[in-house]
Amino acid sequence: MGEKKKKKRNPIPLRVNIIFFTVFLLFSALILRLGFVQIVYGDEYKKEVEKKEDVIINTSVPRGEIYDRTGKSIVSNVGKNAITYTNWKKDKPEKMRETAEELAKIIKMDSEKDLKKITERDKKDYWILINPDEAKKKIPEEENDQLKLKYKDDNKEYQKAYDELLRDRVTEKDLNTLTDLDLETLAIYREFQSGYYYTPHIVKNEGVTDKEIAIISENLEKLPGVDTVRDWDREYEFGGTLKTVLGNVSTSQRGVPAEEKDSYLAKGYSMNDRVGLSYLEKQYEDVLKGQKKKVKYIKDKKDEIVNSEVLSNGAAGNDLVLTIDMKLQLEVEKIIEEELKKTKYGYAGTQYLDRAFVVLMDPHTGEVLTMAGKQLGKDDKTGKQVVQDFALGNITTSYNVGSAVKGAMVLTGYKEGVIRPYSVLRDEVIKIKDSPDFKSHSSSLWGNMNDLTALKRSSNVYMAKIALAIGKESYTRPGQTLNVDPAAWDKVRNSFSEFGLGVRTGIDLPNEMAGFKGQDTAVPGNLMFLSIGQYDTYTNMQLVQYASTIANGGYRIQPRLLKEIRESAQGDEKLGPIVQEIQPKVLNKLDLEPGWIEQVQTGFRMVMQPGGTGGVFIGAPYSPAGKTGTAQAFYDGPLRTNYNVPPPEVMNLSLITYAPSDNPEVAMAVLVPWVYTTNNGPSPNLTIGKRVMDKYFELKNNKEKE
């Protein structure tokens, strides 16, 4: 019985042994695995544990370039050497100073530009930095204790007060101990400090030699944070031509505009990125900027870089191909300059004349072929007369344009039902009670006439009677009082806006103005002046949009300067592949009955024929049509200094034209404000317009012969 009990106990130790053996094997496997991980992956896991953060550094790329419609370069980039510094946040002032001193031994900062930036405060701060022991002695311990007691609850204010006191104690004698090397170092150190964390900041990009680049590249280990890169400058192939329209780009020192900082940072920009500041450069910033190169730097807990990875190689900005024809642009500018000077110095009463504008546009696509403006001025240094680019004035300045608007007025009369094609009205002197006589420019116009004759001979009275009829009023006798429906103002202005008059044209440029509306609508006579272009003001770009609307049969087309967006050219390519071809945009279509706009087109053709106000175009082989304009206006230019007296009265001259009249391919607007102060004077609007149209078709014919 006892033996049986012994036999029953035997399996228990066996099972325990099996369990122990299994545990032994598992522990052995675990130890082997740990050893394997330690030996094979130990360093890698150690780095992962010690890794602190990833820092992504963006490096700028070349900006897109700008070409004209024929592929001529207008704005290009010129590469140049540059030296940058990246502040990795861990860099202490003394370490930065040491790096700056090493760099100062290699490069020379521009004494005229960089050393002049150094302020007395900069020098004092630098003297304190390199002479800490002497600086400390300038504030006795007892005085320092009093400061601490005074600001015991605000350490930040204490430090601020201490620093200010210390600066005040640094003498001129102390500053005179700074050597040339110290000042060179300070100029560099100052640039180091003005950058942003983790963002390459340009220290020097003017006159950096290849030798300096080579020496720096060989000594990068002694220059932490310093690097050499290629920077660029914008080069304008045609000098000042169109410069105001092309716009400007910021420097790396200025970076993004402070007032738009949040917007740019939200888009991924760095504070010192170069951006378009105005006009085309600003309008197409997203196209021109390119994609920056992105490199991820991996840092450990000691703030040391342990690895890097290129996330994106970046890409140069796309190029803009403009609608502008630079050959034509230069010819038009030459004509404007010649005629402006000829009129200014060849006639009496032209003391206020100083500017003229011309725009040529395809009336079917809105492509602006030429956008020219010139302004006479004086050189600030020499006092000599200079001719300045003022192409921007086509959209940023507005004037009374006179009779050029009469085509829109006739069509407004049709739409409002107050006249029909061939309606006859009497041209006569309108004598309103307590108002000056209202009449056409010549008594030879007086008498009955239809709409075509009114356009051809530019009848003011015909247009005024249309306006009065829209206001539910009519002129019946001399000395009568007018009672005009106030709604007439909106009816006329809204109708004009459908042609592009008095509203922004939508051109692809910022800061376009809409013009100014006369405010005194309580005076009925002012409605008559509105009807002949002598009350509200319009830009020259609005005039060419209006001319195009008549020319193309009633479609208001958005003017534009951008024809195509292309990839940056590679190798020997002149232009890169097309990214986007810009399509015409119709802003609105006139709601007209059949035959109405054709009637006005007929009137515009008659303007250019014998007896018309555009007789200078008689015999032109390209069959032009259009409308001239003369406006009695008030001078409001740079020579007006006394605003307490009424401004001088002047004459503004304008012209809208398109050709050929049966199948228009080009529309033109000419505007010359403040031409003369006398009763009669020269007509630079006509001479400029005729010469420009002649030149357009001359260049076109020459190109077709090539």
Confidence of residue 113 (pLDDT cuts 50, 70, 90): low
pLDDT of residue 9: 53
Cβ–Cβ < 8 Å for 314, 337: no
How many Cα atoms occupy the beta-carbon half-sphere of 653 within 13 Å?
23
- DSSP codes of every residue in 649-694: EEEEEEEEEEESTTS--EEEEEEEEEEESSSS---HHHHHHHHHHH
In a domain, residue 415? The reply is yes
Tokens representing 618 are: 């008689």
Handedness of CA 517, 521, 526, 531 (dihedral sign): positive
Alpha-carbon distance 527 to 524, whole Å?
A: 6
Residue 1 confidence (pLDDT) above 50:
no
**β-strand pairing of 666-676 with 578-581:** unpaired
**Average pLDDT for 496-510:** 97
Alpha-carbon distance 539 to 391, whole Å?
A: 12
**β-strand pairing of 319-322 with 66-67:** parallel
pLDDT of residue 554: 97
Cβ–Cβ < 8 Å for 542, 505: yes
- What strands lie across the sheet with 51-59, from one edge to the other? 51-59, 293-300, 305-312
With 0-12 / 13-18 / 19 or more C-beta atoms within 10 angstroms meaning exposed / middle / buried, residue 654 is buried
Last residue within a domain, chosen from 174, 194, 214: 194
Helix extents (H) in 294-392: 326-346
Handedness of CA 481, 486, 491, 494 (dihedral sign): positive
Cβ–Cβ < 8 Å for 411, 389: no
Confidence of residue 37 (pLDDT cuts 50, 70, 90): low
**Average pLDDT for 644-673:** 96
Residue 189 confidence (pLDDT) above 90:
no
Q: Which residue has the higher pLDDT, 624 or 705?
A: 624
Last residue within a domain, chosen from 136, 160, 194: 194
In a domain, residue 166? The reply is yes
**Average pLDDT for 531-548:** 98
Asked whether residue 335 falls in the same domain as residue 189, the answer is: no
Tens digits of residue pLDDT in 83-102: 888 887 667 888 888 888 88
pLDDT of residue 656: 98
Whichever domain contains 628, its CATH number is: 3.40.710.10
- The number of domains in the chain is 2
Asked whether residue 620 falls in the same domain as residue 472, the answer is: yes
Q: Per mean pLDDT, which range of 169-173, 442-446, 469-473, 596-600 is the poorest?
A: 442-446
Confidence of residue 3 (pLDDT cuts 50, 70, 90): very low
Q: Which run of H or of E encompasses 540?
A: helix 540-551
φ, ψ (nearest 5 deg) of residue 525: -60, -25
Q: Which run of H or of E encompasses 305?
A: strand 305-312
Q: Which residue segment(s) compose the domain that 99 sits in?
A: 88-194
In the chain, pLDDT over 70 holds for what percent of residues? 91
Alpha-carbon distance 579 to 391, whole Å?
A: 28
**Average pLDDT for 533-549:** 98
Residue 364 confidence (pLDDT) above 80:
yes
Tens digits of residue pLDDT in 300-321: 666 666 666 677 777 889 999 9
In a domain, residue 694? The reply is yes
pLDDT of residue 4: 46
Supply the mean pLDDT for the chain.
89
Tens digits of residue pLDDT in 632-653: 999 999 988 877 788 999 999 9
**Average pLDDT for 649-660:** 97
| Residues annotated as catalytic (active site), given as ranges | 403
Asked whether residue 340 falls in the same domain as residue 482, the answer is: yes
Residue 40 confidence (pLDDT) above 80:
no
C-alpha 32, offset from chain centre: 68
Nearest alpha carbon to residue 228 among 216, 236, 237, 219: 216
pLDDT of residue 111: 59
Cβ–Cβ < 8 Å for 564, 61: no
In a domain, residue 441? The reply is yes
Residue 443 confidence (pLDDT) above 80:
no
Alpha-carbon distance 706 to 701, whole Å?
A: 9
Cβ–Cβ < 8 Å for 349, 311: no
Cβ–Cβ < 8 Å for 652, 397: no
pLDDT of residue 52: 57
pLDDT of residue 408: 98
Alpha-carbon distance 287 to 280, whole Å?
A: 11
Residue 325 confidence (pLDDT) above 90:
yes
Q: Per mean pLDDT, which range of 53-57, 427-431, 498-502, 690-694 is the poorest?
A: 53-57
In a domain, residue 515? The reply is yes
pLDDT of residue 506: 97
In a domain, residue 258? The reply is no
In a domain, residue 488? The reply is yes
Whichever domain contains 134, its CATH number is: 1.10.10.1230
Tens digits of residue pLDDT in 386-429: 999 999 999 999 999 999 999 999 999 999 999 999 999 999 99
Tokens representing 326 are: 């630079």
In a domain, residue 622? The reply is yes
Last residue within a domain, chosen from 143, 159, 194: 194
Q: Which residue has the higher pLDDT, 382 or 511?
A: 511
φ, ψ (nearest 5 deg) of residue 189: -60, -40
C-alpha 645, offset from chain centre: 37
Q: Which residue has the higher pLDDT, 492 or 166?
A: 492
